[in-house]
Amino acid sequence: MSLNSITTNGRKTLGKKAYTKIRGEIITLNFKPGQMLSESELAATLGVSRTPIREAFLMLLHDELLDIIPQRGARVALISVKKFEENRFVRESLEISALKSVARNWNSDDLRYKESQKKAIELLEKQHIAAIKGEYIQFLQLDDLFHSVFLELMENQTLISVVTQMRGHLNRVRYLESTTPNHMENVVNQHQNIFDAIASNNEVKTEELLRHHFHKKDDLPKLIELYSDYFTS
């Protein structure tokens, strides 16, 4: 188990910190779909009592990333194909609407947009390096940060919160996708094209590229075949 112990700084409860740690392990498949989780083992690993672990489990249950099995305990939820498709639809709809608005209003002379442009370029370079090194988890984190650069320009916290929640179900599939040949480098190229379209105020191209980006060649059927134990309808 790769978890480290946690402490509280008064601003974030131990339960919330435990939730963030365990959720991260689920999203990156260190805790695999169908794997049983032990309250006592997690408490010992994280250096906390079982109470924060129970709080974390309740939050993960709400996220539908954890199941409670009677007489057995907590189990990492299988990847629901239906939930994946639902969340992808919601994320796609929200991000296309948001990023088209960003493209429409993009102004390279505005300080906010200059800062976003700088961040996007830096993230593209970091993604390229992560792709070359085969650093799947790092790549996935950079992927999310790249999208967030543009979402944050909307100054809509509800939008960001909903998209972040959607990623919980999407990222496990995205992590599996990242391990397929050439996938990461293809994503970097798609991100570059999306950025270029936004910076050119091209709403139509932005939407076209995003729709392709979210569906790619759709490796889901192949992933279900390769990792059948991870999925449920």
| Same domain (yes/no): 59, 101 | no
What confidence score (pLDDT) does residue 71 get? 85
CATH number reported for the structural domain that contains residue 133 in this entry:
1.20.120.530
Enter the pTM of the model: 0.85
Interhelix angle 157-178/81-105, nearest 10 degrees: 120
Region at 29 (left for phi over 0; alpha for psi -120 to 50; beta for the rest): left
108-125 burial by CB neighbour count: b if 16+ within 10 A, else e? eeeeebeebbebbeebbe
**Between the CA of residue 183 and those of 134, 177, 178, 199, 225, what are the distances in Å?**
10, 7, 6, 24, 18
Domains in the chain: how many in total?
Answer: 2
Could you tell me the residue range of the domain that residue 101 belongs to? 80-232
Single residue among 77, 108, 131 that ends a domain in this structure: 77
| Same domain (yes/no): 71, 145 | no
CA dist., res. 116 & res. 195, Å (int) = 10
What confidence score (pLDDT) does residue 178 get? 86
Which helix or strand (DSSP H or E) is residue 67 part of?
strand 66-69
Q: What is the pLDDT along the chain (233 residues), one digit of tens a residue?
A: 556 666 555 546 899 999 999 999 999 999 999 999 999 999 999 999 999 999 999 999 999 999 999 888 999 999 999 999 999 999 999 999 999 999 999 998 999 999 999 999 999 999 999 999 999 989 999 999 999 999 999 999 999 999 988 888 899 999 898 888 889 999 999 999 999 999 999 999 999 999 999 986 567 898 999 999 999 99
The DSSP call for residue 175 is H
CATH number reported for the structural domain that contains residue 42 in this entry:
1.10.10.10
What confidence score (pLDDT) does residue 5 get? 61
What confidence score (pLDDT) does residue 181 get? 84
| Same domain (yes/no): 73, 84 | no
CA dist., res. 118 & res. 30, Å (int) = 32
What confidence score (pLDDT) does residue 11 get? 46
CB 104 within 8 A of CB 150: no
Q: Which two tokens stand for residue 104?
A: 């429409």
Residue 167 falls within a domain, yes or no? yes
| Same domain (yes/no): 55, 105 | no
CA dist., res. 212 & res. 214, Å (int) = 6
Q: How many Å separate Cα 90 from the centre of its chain?
A: 14
What confidence score (pLDDT) does residue 133 get? 95
What confidence score (pLDDT) does residue 108 get? 87
| Same domain (yes/no): 18, 31 | yes
